[in-house]
Amino acid sequence: MDLNFTKTEINILLHEVFAEMNSMAREKQLQYDLLLPRIALIAFVDQHALREALNSLTYNAVNYAERTVSIKLATFNSDDRMFTIEVRNDGSPIPTERRLRSHELAELQNGSLTLIQDEGSSHLLRLSIPIIQDQAIVGQSAQCQSFDGGVLNKDFIGQLKSTIYNNVSEIELNVNVLAKLMNMSRPTLYRRIKGLSASTPNELINISRLKKAAELLSQRTYTITQIAAMVGYSVQSNFSRDFHKHYGMSPSLYMAKISGTGN
């Protein structure tokens, strides 16, 4: 994903995102609030990526709320390097898998998305993004260059695939763990992968899990439950769902077709 950092008035962008979910909030009879400071905030962001992240967070906050949802741009001053947007809802917290894309989009812009459990029944997601991006990154985006000037780093790809494959059984394998195993920061890992692949780090991890599962299924040595655990799934139904989505068939049907007993 090529990012294009441009001068953006965050207050206006938030107004637009807020308005898009207004009808949905009204249908659920929610108290739906947008809280903005009096001073407009100008930041250099990728408008498409930030809008997608905010749309997803706001939609899910409204979807899981019982009574209230609020979107707040935190107050800021001239010394701040980051700006923060808070999305709060009561009811159920937004599930991890529903936050994943927004988390990835935040990290691509050297930001973060944090879930904060409040006392009581509300849940707070805090999205933090740099006000001004590193000039090297901005220049790289503006010139449509990929990491290392667009040269494919075969050693990096080999190390990445090997690291994921060797740790695919770990349930906790995610972007943070992968970055540590690769001895680099999360933003650096994202930029390296972005320059070499159309997939995000989490997508690469999930694809590797499923490819390993397909190998094990073809051996017909283990049960599907055992294989799910061996490739890092704690819940078999989640494994079966992801496998079907990737291969177009259930694990049991895949095993049957490999052995020649399927239709």
CATH number of the domain enclosing 216: 1.10.10.60
Considering the domain architecture, whether residues 160 and 250 belong to the same structural domain is answered as: yes
The 8-class DSSP code of residue 248 comes to S
Q: Which range marks the domain in which residue 77 is found?
A: 5-130
Q: Considering the entire predicted model, what is its pTM?
A: 0.53
119 CA to centre of own chain: 26
pLDDT at 259: 66
Q: Residue 210 in contact with residue 246, Cβ under 8 Å?
A: yes
CA distance 224 to 21: 41
Task: Return the pLDDT at 136.
Answer: 35
Q: Is residue 170 part of a domain?
A: yes
Q: What are phi and psi of 107, to 5 degrees?
A: -70, -30
124 and 158 within one domain: no
Establish if 216 belongs to a structural domain: yes
Q: What angle do CA 173, 209, 168 make, to 5 degrees?
A: 40
95 and 200 both lie in a single domain:
no
pLDDT at 76: 85
**Would 143 be classed as within a structural domain?**
no
Residue 173 lies in a domain: yes
Q: Is the same domain home to 183 and 111?
A: no
Based on the structure, what is the number of domains in the chain?
Answer: 2
The answer to whether the beta carbons of residues 217 and 206 sit under 8 Å apart is: no
> Are residues 158 and 246 both part of a single domain?
yes
Residue 90 shares a structural domain with residue 190: no
Residue 99 covered by a domain: yes
- Quote the CA–CA distance of 244 and 119 in Å, as a whole number: 39
- Residue 140: inside a domain: no
Residues in the chain, pLDDT under 70: 1-2, 118-120, 134-155, 259-263
- H-state helical runs in 65-169: 96-108, 135-142, 154-166
Asked if the structure places residue 12 within a domain, the reply is yes
